[in-house]
C-alpha cells in the first residue's frame, strides 16, 4: 500500500468516526425494519446487510446532512432507505448475474435460491418506501423513486451492452451513471433537502454524488482486473467471465490489433473462455494503458466532484468529503 492509499484509508475512518453515532442509529433502523413475521426475510436480508459493506451511501447522506448544518433526526431513517434500495438492487443483481460470490461470500441467491432473493429484494424496496412515506417528504420520495427507476433502466442497459463490443465509452458511462452513480447522487441530495437548503446547494451536492458514484464504479470495474487484488486473495475476473463491457475492456479493444480484437470477441462476445484468458486480458489492458486511461477518467470526474464542494463552508465535513474523492480514486491504484 503506498502513502497515498494509506492516507486514503484514514479518510474512510475519519468519515465513519464523524458520523459514528448516526451510523449506529442507521444500523438499528435497518435491523428493526428488516424484521417480518416471515422468518426467512430477516434471515436472508441479514445475510447481505451484514456482509461487510462500507455503508458508503448512508454515510454520504449523513455527511451531506451534516455539511448542511442539519440538526434533526430525519436523516437517520432516510439513510436506512438508501441502504435498503441498494441492498434490494444487490439481491436482484445477484439473481440476474447468476453470480455466486460477492465480496468473497456466497451470494444470497446461491444460499437461499433465486426465488427468495427476488422477493426479499421486493420486500426491502417496499420497506424503503414505507419509511419514506413515514418521513413524509414528497421531495425525498420524488428523488428516490426517480433514482429507483433510473437504476432499473441502467441495469437493463447493462444487460443489453453485455457481450457487445460495439459498446462505446458513452454507452458505458450512461450505464454506470444510471445503475450506480444515481443512488450516490440521491443520497447526497437528501442531506440539503432535509436541511432545507436552497436549490443551488441541492444541485451542487447532486453533482458531487453523481461524480463520486462514477469514480466509484470506474475503479470498481478496474479492480476486477487487478493483479494486486488477486494477490490479496480477492476474487477478480467476475466481469470478464460474464462478458461485461467495462471501460478497461473498451479501451484495450479499441486500441488492439486485429488479432487482439479476435481475442476480445471470442472471450467477451462468445464467452468462449480458456485457461489463461483472464491473465491475457489483463496483459492486453496493461499494454494499451487501459488502467491508466480509466484512472484518468476517474480523475476528471474527481475535478467535477471537487468543484461541486466549493460553495460550502470550509470545515471538517467539507474536507472529509473532498478527501473521499481521492480515496475513491486511490482505490484504483
- Stretch in the footprint of a second copy (CB under 8 A) among 67-75, 84-92, 187-195, 265-273: 84-92
In the bound state with a second copy, the residue whose beta carbon lies nearer, of 154 and 302, is 154
Distance CA 74, CA 134 (A): 10
Residues in the interface with a second copy (CB under 8 A) total 43
Residues in the chain: 333
Q: Interaction with a second copy in 23-52: which residues (CB under 8 A)?
A: 36-38, 40-41
Binding mask 223-262 for a second copy (x = CB under 8 A): ----------------------------------------
Q: Contact, 78 vs 61, CB < 8 A?
A: yes
- Stretch in the footprint of a second copy (CB under 8 A) among 59-67, 145-153, 232-240, 261-269: 145-153
In the bound state with a second copy, the residue whose beta carbon lies nearer, of 52 and 136, is 136
Which cell numbers hold the place of 88?
434490494
Shortest reach from residue 71's CB to a second copy, in Å:
24
Backbone angles phi, psi at 288, to 5 degrees: -100, 15
Assess 116 for contact with a second copy (CB under 8 A): yes
Binding mask 151-190 for a second copy (x = CB under 8 A): xxx-xxx-xx------------------------------
- Stretch in the footprint of a second copy (CB under 8 A) among 121-129, 191-199, 218-226, 272-280: 121-129
Distance CA 10, CA 152 (A): 34
In the bound state with a second copy, the residue whose beta carbon lies nearer, of 14 and 36, is 36
Binding mask 93-112 for a second copy (x = CB under 8 A): --xxx---------------
- Identified binder of a second copy from the candidate list 148, 219, 246, 308, rule CB under 8 A: 148
Assess 133 for contact with a second copy (CB under 8 A): yes
In the bound state with a second copy, the residue whose beta carbon lies nearer, of 137 and 265, is 137
Q: Which residue has cell 454515510? A: 59
Assess 82 for contact with a second copy (CB under 8 A): no
Shortest reach from residue 323's CB to a second copy, in Å:
33
Q: Which residue has cell 413524509? A: 136
Which cell numbers hold the place of 97?
448475474
Shortest reach from residue 240's CB to a second copy, in Å:
18
The residues that touch a second copy, with contacts defined as CB under 8 A, are 36-38, 40-41, 88-89, 92, 95-97, 114-116, 118-120, 122-123, 125-127, 129-130, 132-134, 136, 138, 141-142, 145-146, 148-149, 151-153, 155-157, 159-160
Amino acid at each position: 500500500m503506498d502513502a497515498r492509499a494509506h492516507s486514503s484509508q484514514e479518510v474512510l475512518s475519519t468519515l465513519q468516526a464523524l458520523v459514528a453515532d448516526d451510523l449506529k442509529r442507521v444500523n438499528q433502523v435497518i435491523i428493526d425494519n428488516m424484521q417480518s413475521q416471515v422468518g426467512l426475510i430477516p434471515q436472508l436480508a441479514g445475510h447481505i446487510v451484514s456482509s461487510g459493506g462500507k455503508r458508503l451511501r448512508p454515510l454520504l447522506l449523513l455527511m451531506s446532512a451534516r455539511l448542511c448544518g442539519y440538526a434533526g433526526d430525519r436523516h437517520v431513517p432516510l439513510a436506512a432507505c438508501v441502504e435498503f434500495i441498494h441492498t434490494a438492487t444487490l439481491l436482484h443483481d445477484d439473481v440476474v448475474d447468476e453470480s455466486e460470490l460477492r465480496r468473497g461470500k456466497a451470494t444470497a441467491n446461491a444460499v437461499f435460491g433465486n426465488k427468495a432473493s427476488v422477493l426479499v429484494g421486493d420486500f426491502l424496496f417496499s420497506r424503503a418506501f414505507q419509511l419514506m412515506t413515514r418521513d413524509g417528504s414528497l421531495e425525498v420520495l420524488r428523488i428516490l423513486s426517480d433514482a429507483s427507476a433510473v437504476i432499473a433502466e441502467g441495469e437493463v442497459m447493462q444487460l443489453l451492452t453485455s457481450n457487445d463490443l460495439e459498446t462505446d465509452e458513452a454507452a458505458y458511462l450512461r450505464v454506470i451513471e444510471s445503475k450506480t452513480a444515481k443512488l450516490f447522487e440521491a443520497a447526497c441530495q437528501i442531506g440539503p433537502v432535509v436541511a432545507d437548503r436552497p436549490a443551488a446547494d441541492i444541485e451542487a451536492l447532486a453533482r458531487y454524488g453523481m461524480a463520486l458514484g462514477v469514480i466509484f464504479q470506474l475503479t470498481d470495474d478496474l479492480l476486477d482486473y487487478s493483479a494486486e487484488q488477486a494477490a490479496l486473495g480477492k476474487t477478480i475476473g467476475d466481469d470478464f467471465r460474464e462478458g461485461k463491457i467495462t471501460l478497461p475492456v473498451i479501451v484495450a479493444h479499441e486500441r488492439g490489433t486485429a488479432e487482439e480484437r479476435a481475442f476480445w470477441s471470442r472471450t467477451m462476445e462468445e464467452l468462449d473462455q480458456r485457461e489463461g484468458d483472464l491473465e491475457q486480458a489483463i496483459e492486453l489492458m496493461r499494454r494499451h494503458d487501459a488502467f491508466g486511461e480509466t484512472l484518468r477518467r476517474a480523475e476528471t470526474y474527481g475535478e467535477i466532484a471537487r468543484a461541486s464542494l466549493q460553495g460550502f463552508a470550509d470545515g471538517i465535513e467539507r474536507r472529509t468529503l473532498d478527501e473521499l474523492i481521492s480515496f475513491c480514486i486511490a482505490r484504483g491504484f
